[in-house]
Amino acid sequence: MRCLGVDRGEKRTGIAVSDSLGIMATPVSVIENSDENLVILEILTVANQYEVDCIVVGMPRSLNGELGVQALKVASFVKKLAAVFQEKSRRQVEIKTWDERFSTAAAQKSMTEAGMSHRKSRKHIDSLAATYILQHFLDSEKQD
Protein backbone atom coordinates (compact mmCIF):
# COMPACT_ATOMS: atom_id res chain seq x y z
CA MET A 1 0.00 0.00 0.00
CA ARG A 2 1.56 3.27 -1.12
CA CYS A 3 0.57 6.40 0.80
CA LEU A 4 1.04 10.12 0.36
CA GLY A 5 1.81 12.33 3.37
CA VAL A 6 0.65 15.94 3.48
CA ASP A 7 1.78 18.66 5.89
CA ARG A 8 -0.58 21.60 5.34
CA GLY A 9 0.98 24.75 6.72
CA GLU A 10 0.03 28.40 6.54
CA LYS A 11 2.43 29.25 3.70
CA ARG A 12 3.43 25.91 2.19
CA THR A 13 2.23 22.32 1.88
CA GLY A 14 4.80 19.57 2.21
CA ILE A 15 4.40 16.29 0.35
CA ALA A 16 5.97 12.89 1.07
CA VAL A 17 5.37 9.42 -0.35
CA SER A 18 5.92 5.91 0.92
CA ASP A 19 7.49 3.04 -0.93
CA SER A 20 5.09 0.53 -2.53
CA LEU A 21 5.28 -1.74 0.54
CA GLY A 22 4.25 1.06 2.90
CA ILE A 23 7.44 0.79 4.95
CA MET A 24 9.43 3.99 4.40
CA ALA A 25 8.44 7.59 3.75
CA THR A 26 10.46 9.93 1.53
CA PRO A 27 10.07 13.69 0.95
CA VAL A 28 8.75 14.63 -2.50
CA SER A 29 8.02 18.34 -2.82
CA VAL A 30 6.78 21.58 -1.33
CA ILE A 31 3.80 23.46 -2.78
CA GLU A 32 3.32 27.18 -2.18
CA ASN A 33 -0.16 27.87 -0.78
CA SER A 34 -1.01 30.72 -3.13
CA ASP A 35 -4.31 29.09 -4.18
CA GLU A 36 -5.97 26.24 -2.26
CA ASN A 37 -7.54 24.77 -5.40
CA LEU A 38 -4.15 24.63 -7.14
CA VAL A 39 -2.63 22.93 -4.08
CA ILE A 40 -5.38 20.29 -4.18
CA LEU A 41 -4.88 19.72 -7.92
CA GLU A 42 -1.11 19.36 -7.38
CA ILE A 43 -1.76 16.78 -4.64
CA LEU A 44 -4.09 14.94 -7.05
CA THR A 45 -1.36 14.97 -9.71
CA VAL A 46 1.27 13.61 -7.32
CA ALA A 47 -1.16 10.99 -5.95
CA ASN A 48 -1.90 9.76 -9.49
CA GLN A 49 1.80 9.84 -10.43
CA TYR A 50 2.72 7.59 -7.50
CA GLU A 51 -0.53 5.57 -7.68
CA VAL A 52 -1.23 5.99 -3.97
CA ASP A 53 -3.93 4.11 -2.09
CA CYS A 54 -4.22 6.56 0.80
CA ILE A 55 -3.42 10.13 1.72
CA VAL A 56 -2.44 10.99 5.28
CA VAL A 57 -2.91 14.66 6.18
CA GLY A 58 -1.28 15.99 9.33
CA MET A 59 -3.80 17.34 11.84
CA PRO A 60 -2.27 20.11 13.96
CA ARG A 61 -3.66 19.36 17.40
CA SER A 62 -2.78 21.51 20.39
CA LEU A 63 -0.54 20.12 23.12
CA ASN A 64 -3.60 18.95 25.08
CA GLY A 65 -4.94 17.15 21.99
CA GLU A 66 -7.73 19.58 21.16
CA LEU A 67 -8.47 21.00 17.71
CA GLY A 68 -7.60 24.70 17.47
CA VAL A 69 -8.05 27.26 14.72
CA GLN A 70 -5.35 25.80 12.45
CA ALA A 71 -6.77 22.28 12.87
CA LEU A 72 -10.20 23.51 11.80
CA LYS A 73 -8.62 25.03 8.67
CA VAL A 74 -6.93 21.71 7.92
CA ALA A 75 -10.21 19.83 8.49
CA SER A 76 -11.89 22.12 5.94
CA PHE A 77 -8.99 21.51 3.52
CA VAL A 78 -9.36 17.73 3.98
CA LYS A 79 -13.07 17.94 3.11
CA LYS A 80 -12.28 19.86 -0.10
CA LEU A 81 -9.47 17.43 -0.92
CA ALA A 82 -11.81 14.45 -0.48
CA ALA A 83 -14.47 16.06 -2.69
CA VAL A 84 -11.99 16.77 -5.51
CA PHE A 85 -10.57 13.24 -5.33
CA GLN A 86 -14.04 11.73 -5.46
CA GLU A 87 -14.85 13.84 -8.51
CA LYS A 88 -11.58 13.80 -10.46
CA SER A 89 -9.37 10.92 -9.37
CA ARG A 90 -9.04 7.84 -11.48
CA ARG A 91 -8.19 5.88 -8.34
CA GLN A 92 -10.04 5.06 -5.14
CA VAL A 93 -8.03 6.90 -2.47
CA GLU A 94 -8.69 6.83 1.27
CA ILE A 95 -7.96 10.14 3.03
CA LYS A 96 -7.00 10.05 6.71
CA THR A 97 -5.75 12.56 9.24
CA TRP A 98 -2.87 11.98 11.63
CA ASP A 99 -1.76 13.85 14.74
CA GLU A 100 1.16 15.96 13.58
CA ARG A 101 2.26 17.39 16.93
CA PHE A 102 6.01 18.05 16.94
CA SER A 103 6.54 16.99 13.29
CA THR A 104 7.88 20.38 12.19
CA ALA A 105 10.06 20.66 15.30
CA ALA A 106 11.47 17.18 14.64
CA ALA A 107 12.12 18.08 11.00
CA GLN A 108 13.89 21.30 12.01
CA LYS A 109 16.03 19.44 14.54
CA SER A 110 17.03 16.82 11.94
CA MET A 111 18.03 19.48 9.45
CA THR A 112 20.05 21.37 12.07
CA GLU A 113 21.80 18.16 13.09
CA ALA A 114 22.56 17.47 9.42
CA GLY A 115 24.26 20.87 9.20
CA MET A 116 21.78 22.50 6.83
CA SER A 117 21.60 26.26 7.09
CA HIS A 118 18.37 27.80 8.35
CA ARG A 119 17.87 29.56 5.03
CA LYS A 120 18.22 26.32 3.05
CA SER A 121 16.14 24.32 5.50
CA ARG A 122 13.08 26.57 5.17
CA LYS A 123 12.76 25.39 1.59
CA HIS A 124 12.60 21.73 2.60
CA ILE A 125 11.16 21.74 6.12
CA ASP A 126 7.55 21.18 5.02
CA SER A 127 8.31 18.10 2.92
CA LEU A 128 10.41 16.68 5.74
CA ALA A 129 7.55 17.35 8.20
CA ALA A 130 5.22 15.49 5.80
CA THR A 131 7.74 12.65 5.84
CA TYR A 132 7.64 12.51 9.66
CA ILE A 133 3.84 12.49 9.64
CA LEU A 134 3.68 9.73 7.05
CA GLN A 135 6.42 7.64 8.69
CA HIS A 136 4.66 7.72 12.06
CA PHE A 137 1.43 6.67 10.36
CA LEU A 138 3.18 3.81 8.53
CA ASP A 139 4.86 2.64 11.73
CA SER A 140 1.52 2.58 13.55
CA GLU A 141 0.00 0.51 10.75
CA LYS A 142 2.75 -2.12 11.14
CA GLN A 143 1.94 -2.45 14.84
CA ASP A 144 -1.74 -3.23 14.23
Structural domain harbouring 122: 3-143
Write the pLDDT tens digit of every residue in 54-82.
999 999 877 776 777 888 999 999 999 99
Write the pLDDT tens digit of every residue in 121-138.
556 778 888 999 999 999
Q: Which among 59, 67, 73 has a CA at the least distance from the CA of 130?
A: 59
Write the pLDDT tens digit of every residue in 82-102.
999 999 887 789 999 998 865
Q: Is the pLDDT of residue 110 over 70?
A: no
Q: What is the CA radius of gyration of the chain?
A: 14
How many distinct structural domains can be found in the chain?
A: 1
Domain of residue 128, CATH code = 3.30.420.140
pLDDT band at 38 (very low <50, low <70, confident <90, very high): very high
